[in-house]
Amino acid sequence: MSLIKSTKSEEANKYELEVKVDKETFTAATTRVYKRQVKNINIPGFRKGKAPKHIIERMYGKTVFYDDAIEDTYPTALSEATVEADLKAVGVDDLKIDEVGDDGYTFTAVIIVAPELTVDGYKGIEVEKISTEVTDELVDEELQAVRERNGRMVTVEDRAAQNGDTAVIDFEGFVDGDAFDGGKAENYNLRLGDGNFIPGFEDAIVGHSTGEEFTIDVTFPEDYNAENLAGKDAQFKITLHEIKVKELPEVDDEFVKDVSEKDTLEEYKEELKEKVAERLKENAEKDFDDKLTDALFALETEEIPEVMFDNEVRDMLNEFDMRLRQQGMDLETYLKYTGMDKAAVEATYKPQAEKRVKIRLVLEAIARQEAIEVSDEDVENEYKKLSEAYNMEADQVKTFIAPEALSQDIKVEKAMQLVRDNAKVK
C-alpha cells in the first residue's frame, strides 16, 4: 500500500509526489523476489535453490532483494498515489528513491499531468456545408465508373501508341552507360499519360508501334527518392511488345442486368442516384466535422506537454501495427519493405498526433464546462455497439476497454455533439 507524504507543484503541468511504500507491501515484494531468484543461488551447506531467505540476506546483505522489490512495487505505488492526489498523469519526468529500509521505502517522482483547459467560442461556430444535391452529371459519372470497372483490355494492332493506351514493354535503364538497380523490367504494363514514371518517359513511347525497339532519353527529377539517380540523365532501352486499350461495354438494359439486380437502365439510374446521395451525405457530414474540429483546434492556446504527443504517436503506431497484422504483416516487416526506420514513421504521424491531442483536450474542457454526464446505460449501450462491431461478447470487450476510459470517450463525443448542435450552418 502506498501513501502520499507530500504533493507540490513544480511548474506548469508538473507535480512532485513524495510517496511511502509501507513495510507490509515491501516485505511481501522481497519475498516474491526471493522465490523467483532462489533457484539460481548457491549457498554452501544448502542444495541449489533451497537456501532460506534469511540465510541469503545474511550472506549477501539484507538489501540483496531490495532493488528488484522496488522495481516490482513502485509502478503500482505511483499509480495509486496519482489517483489519491487526483492527478491525470501522462508521463514521469523524474523518479528517485529517497529512503529504503525494513520499514519500506520512500521515493519522489515528478509526474507530468494533462492540462485542464478553459475554452471559449465553441458555440456558434460558423461552417459552410458542402452541397448534397444529386445532379445528372454525378449519376452519369457513377455509371461511367461502373463501365470502367467492367471494361476489358483488347489488343490494338493497326496504330501507334497514344495516351490512354496500356503499353506492354521491356525496359532497361542506364546512367553514364551503366545499368542501375531497379531500372529493368520485362512485360511491364504501363498506362500512358498517367504520369507514373519519370517525366518524359511515357511521352517518349507515344507514337511507337508494336514490335519496335528504341532508346529514350530522360532526366531524373532533382528530388528523386534515390539519391544516386536524382538529377541524372538516363537512357532507357525499350521494346514495345503490345498496345492495349480498355473497351467499355454499351450501356443498355443487358449491361444493367449483368452488373446489378435491376432490369432496366432507368431503374439502375435510380439505384445509382440513391447511392450517390448517400455518399454525398457522408462526405458532407465528414467535411462538416472536419471544419468544426479545425475550429476547435484553433481554440487551444496553452502549452501541451510533449509527452502527450509522443504517447499519441505510440498509440497510432500500435493501431497501424494491428491493421498490418490483420493483413498478415507487422510493423517490423513493413519497415524492412519500405526502407523506413521507426523514427521516420513516427515523424509522419506527429502532426496528426498533435491535432488529435489538442482537439481531445478542448472537447474534455467543453465537457467539464458544460457539466456533461455519462450514465451507466450510455456505457452499456456503447459496449453493445463495440461488441457488434468487433463480433465479440460485451464481456470480452470490457477486458480491453475499461468502463472509466469508455465513459470519458462518450463524454468527449457528447461534447462534440454539443458543438455540432450549436454550429451555425452557412
pLDDT digits (tens, 9 = 90+) for 90-125: 999 889 999 999 899 999 999 999 888 889 999 999
Average model confidence (pLDDT) across the chain: 91
Q: What is the pLDDT of residue 401?
A: 87
Say which residues have a Cβ less than 8 Å from residue 84's Cβ, sequence separation at least 6: 2, 4
Query: What confidence tens digit (pLDDT) does each residue in 357-384 have?
Result: 999 999 999 999 999 999 999 999 999 9
Mean pLDDT over residues 211-218, rounded?
A: 96
CB atoms within 10 A of CB 342: 11
* Long-range contacts at 9-14 (CB < 8 A, ≥ 24 apart): 10/110, 12/115, 12/303, 13/112, 13/113, 13/114, 13/115, 13/303, 13/305, 14/93, 14/110, 14/111, 14/112, 14/113
Q: What is the pLDDT of residue 323?
A: 85
Mean pLDDT over residues 241-266, rounded?
A: 95
| Dist CA 220 CA 193 (whole Å) | 18
Query: What confidence tens digit (pLDDT) does each residue in 284-306 have?
Result: 999 999 999 999 999 988 889 99
Q: What is the pLDDT of residue 102?
A: 87
| Dist CA 63 CA 96 (whole Å) | 17
Mean pLDDT over residues 313-331, rounded?
A: 88
* Block residue for cell numbers 498506362: 191
| Dist CA 269 CA 334 (whole Å) | 42
Query: What confidence tens digit (pLDDT) does each residue in 22-62 have?
Result: 999 999 999 999 999 998 888 888 888 888 998 989 989 98
What pTM, to 2 d.p., does this model score? 0.72
Mean pLDDT over residues 152-164, rounded?
A: 94
Say what the alpha-carbon torsion angle 380, 382, 388, 391 is, to the nearest 10 degrees.
-80
Q: What is the pLDDT of residue 2?
A: 59
Amino acid at 267: E
Q: What is the pLDDT of residue 412?
A: 96
Query: What confidence tens digit (pLDDT) does each residue in 63-82 have?
Result: 999 999 999 999 999 999 99
**Pairing label, strands 126-127, 424-425:** parallel
Q: What is the pLDDT of residue 344?
A: 87
| Dist CA 227 CA 339 (whole Å) | 14
φ/ψ of residue 190, rounded to 5: -120, 115
Q: What is the pLDDT of residue 5?
A: 63
Pull the grid cell for residue 63.
538489501
Radius of gyration (C-alpha) of the chain in whole angstroms: 33
Which DSSP state fits 176? Answer: T
Asked if residue 254 lies in contact with residue 112, where contact means CB atoms within 8 angstroms, the answer is: no
Report whether pLDDT(4) > 70: no
